[in-house]
């Protein structure tokens, strides 16, 4: 359709359609493309020329947009256009308020009439905002974003970082013995894994998104796609890329440290993936860093007993939920932690040692209570999912209403 050829918004140029049509538009401005010359290169050359040439293109295209039912500059334009009046670049509006292509010679017009596909009713398409469906936009943007981000997420630098962050902790916590003295070491390793992948995902997103914003703003201004289609495509296309590195990390570190069995391994790997996705929200660096530091402090590892007036704040730390789930998986009933021979930190151990010569093990519930891990596994996972949805929804609303181009 001729009214889709060139769309202008705030001086930005966007085009979709046949090359012959856009060349016809430029020819109408006295800007002719040489035979066999690449139309895309020709257009780029012209819009990079002098300000006068660019202004000529912009002015004419904005005038043409007044005839566009898809992206009009003036919805009242046609009220002042009479039957068979000419509009910019040789287009006409006939008495039926249809846009027709450039007028041909009188004989050609009588013998052939307007070309098929070169006319349309304005009334039929007044409510159409987008050139393609939501599904088409989503699929296209998903494929594009996946191809663009694949090289970033799976770069040699990121893979090397993942291997280092896997092998070094695995060596430090090599085959931890199941004794009371190592309870804090178990908790420290699990909290390190959770906090690292939260920070890593947040920093990756904060570093990549600002570079995308100018392109996104330009494409949104030109009406290329819905924000919802872009945002959903971005989230889903990056899921497989985001979870690869946490999966590799857990696979290496988990078995090197000798943690609690196959079932806990798969559960921990899933939790790391979910944690990385939850932390992958697009906000300003200042807000993200401040929130992440506070959530580390309130996550339940550095301090177990917060002041009474601040005890509510621990529930705002999304890190505490995957951390507590991993503690429950690690200190399961079949993972016995041997009590200290003397001066145990747990009352049960001291009682058993003082009353009998039997081997004493630290009760699982006592370990979990020392970390304030009070929620059951299903509740912690549900809350973590709610954090994920809340972060993503908040980011969409910010882009939709507060960071509009």
Average pLDDT over residues 59-66: 74
For 183, the domain range is 134-402
Query: Where does a domain end: 73, 97, 125?
Result: 125
Query: What CA–CA distance (Å, rounded) separates 286 from 202?
Result: 11
Query: Where does a domain end: 125, 160, 175?
Result: 125
Query: Is residue 214 located within the same domain as residue 305?
Result: yes
Query: In this predicted model, which residue has the larger pLDDT, 333 or 162?
Result: 162
Q: What Cα–Cα distance (Å) separates residue 381 from each residue in 134, 290, 296, 373?
A: 31, 24, 18, 13
Q: Which pLDDT belongs to residue 334? A: 61
pLDDT value at 93 more than 80? no
Query: Is residue 387 located within the same domain as residue 348?
Result: yes
pLDDT value at 30 more than 70? yes
pLDDT value at 287 more than 90? no
- Could you give the percent of the chain with pLDDT greater than 90? 30
Q: Which pLDDT belongs to residue 128? A: 54
**DSSP structural state of residue 338:** B
Q: Which of 1-5, 9-13, 80-84 is least confident?
A: 1-5
Query: Is residue 68 located within the same domain as residue 199?
Result: no
Query: Is residue 6 located within the same domain as residue 24?
Result: yes
Query: Is residue 229 located within the same domain as residue 376?
Result: yes
pLDDT value at 322 more than 80? yes
Query: Is residue 75 located within the same domain as residue 185?
Result: no
Query: In this predicted model, which residue has the larger pLDDT, 183 or 216?
Result: 183
Token pair in block for residue 62: 């904005």
Query: Is residue 248 located within the same domain as residue 361?
Result: yes
Q: What Cα–Cα distance (Å) separates residue 323 from each residue in 10, 79, 271, 289, 399?
A: 49, 65, 9, 19, 31
Residues 236 and 144 sit within 8 Å (Cβ to Cβ): no
Q: Which pLDDT belongs to residue 126? A: 38
Residues 91 and 81 sit within 8 Å (Cβ to Cβ): no
**DSSP structural state of residue 402:** I
Query: In this predicted model, which residue has the larger pLDDT, 202 or 329?
Result: 329
Q: Which pLDDT belongs to residue 97? A: 43
Query: Is residue 97 located within the same domain as residue 167?
Result: no
Q: Mind listing the pLDDT tens digit for each residue in 254-284?
A: 999 999 889 899 999 999 999 999 887 655 6
> Please, which residues have CB within 8 angstroms of residue 272's CB and are 6 or more apart in sequence?
193, 194, 197, 246, 247, 249, 250, 322
Average pLDDT over residues 51-68: 76
Query: Is residue 120 located within the same domain as residue 144?
Result: no
42-56, 136-150, 196-210, 322-336 — most confident range: 136-150
Q: Which pLDDT belongs to residue 314? A: 84
Burial call 52-65: b when 16+ CB within 10 Å, e when fewer: ebeebbbebbbbbb
Structural domain count of the chain:
2
Token pair in block for residue 185: 């070491």
Query: Is residue 14 located within the same domain as residue 39?
Result: yes
DSSP-derived 3-state class of residue 116: coil
Query: Where does a domain end: 74, 99, 125?
Result: 125
DSSP letters, 303-336, are -SS--GGGGGGGGG-TTHHHHHHHHHHHT-TTS-
Q: How far is it between the farthest Cα atoms of the chain?
A: 114
Closest to 43 in 3D by CA, of 59, 72, 67, 53? 53
42-51, 203-212, 334-343 — most confident range: 334-343
**DSSP structural state of residue 9:** E
Query: Is residue 150 located within the same domain as residue 107?
Result: no
Residues 188 and 326 sit within 8 Å (Cβ to Cβ): no
Residue that has been written with the tokens 């304005």 in this structure: 122
Mean confidence (pLDDT) of the chain: 78
Q: What Cα–Cα distance (Å) separates residue 244 from each residue in 66, 87, 154, 186, 248?
A: 49, 56, 9, 24, 6
pLDDT value at 6 more than 70? no
Query: What CA–CA distance (Å, rounded) separates 31 from 266?
Result: 64
Does an H or E element contain 292, and which? helix 285-297
Query: What CA–CA distance (Å, rounded) separates 183 from 320?
Result: 17
Residues 247 and 273 sit within 8 Å (Cβ to Cβ): yes
Q: Which pLDDT belongs to residue 284? A: 60
Average pLDDT over residues 338-350: 88
- Could you give the percent of the chain with pLDDT greater than 70? 76
Residues 342 and 349 sit within 8 Å (Cβ to Cβ): no
110-119, 306-315, 375-384 — most confident range: 375-384
Query: What CA–CA distance (Å, rounded) separates 135 from 153?
Result: 26
Query: Is residue 38 located within the same domain as residue 98?
Result: yes
Count CB neighbours of 30 within 10 A.
8
Average pLDDT over residues 202-222: 79
């Amino acid at each position: 359709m001729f009214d889709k050829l060139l769309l202008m918004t705030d001086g930005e140029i966007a085009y979709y359609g046949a090359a012959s049509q856009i060349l016809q538009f430029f020819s109408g401005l006295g800007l002719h493309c040489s035979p066999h010359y690449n139309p895309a290169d020709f257009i780029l050359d012209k819009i990079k020329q002098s300000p006068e040439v660019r202004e000529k293109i912009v002015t004419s295209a904005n005038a043409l947009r007044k005839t566009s039912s898809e992206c009009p500059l003036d919805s009242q334009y046609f009220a002042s256009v009479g039957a068979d009046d000419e509009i910019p670049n040789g287009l006409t509006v006939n008495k039926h308020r249809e846009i027709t292509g450039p007028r041909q010679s009188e004989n050609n017009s009588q013998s052939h009439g307007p070309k098929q596909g070169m006319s349309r009713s304005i009334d039929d398409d007044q409510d159409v905002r987008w050139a393609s469906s939501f599904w088409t936009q989503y699929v296209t943007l998903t494929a594009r974003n996946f191809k663009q981000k694949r090289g970033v997420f799976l770069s040699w630098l990121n893979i090397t970082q993942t291997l280092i962050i896997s092998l070094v902790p695995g060596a430090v916590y090599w085959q931890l013995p199941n004794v009371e003295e190592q309870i804090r070491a178990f908790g420290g390793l699990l909290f390190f894994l959770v906090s690292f992948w939260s920070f890593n995902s947040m920093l990756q997103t904060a570093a990549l998104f600002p570079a995308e914003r100018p392109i996104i703003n330009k494409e949104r201004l030109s009406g290329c796609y819905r924000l919802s289609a872009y945002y959903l495509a971005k989230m889903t296309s990056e899921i497989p890329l985001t979870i690869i590195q946490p999966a590799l990390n857990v696979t290496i570190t988990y078995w090197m440290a000798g943690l609690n069995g196959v079932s806990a391994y798969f559960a921990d790997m899933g939790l790391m993936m979910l944690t990385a996705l939850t932390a992958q929200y697009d906000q300003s660096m200042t807000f993200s860093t401040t929130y992440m530091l506070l959530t580390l402090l309130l996550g339940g590892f550095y301090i177990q007993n917060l002041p009474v007036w601040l005890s509510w704040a621990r529930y705002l730390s999304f890190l505490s939920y995957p951390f507590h789930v991993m503690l429950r998986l690690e200190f399961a009933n079949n993972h016995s932690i041997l009590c200290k021979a003397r001066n145990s930190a747990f009352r049960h151990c001291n009682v058993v040692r003082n009353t009998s010569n039997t081997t004493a093990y630290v009760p699982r519930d006592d370990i979990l209570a020392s970390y304030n891990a009070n929620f059951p596994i299903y509740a912690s996972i549900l809350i973590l999912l709610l954090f994920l949805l809340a972060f993503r929804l908040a980011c969409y609303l910010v882009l939709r209403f507060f960071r509009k181009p």
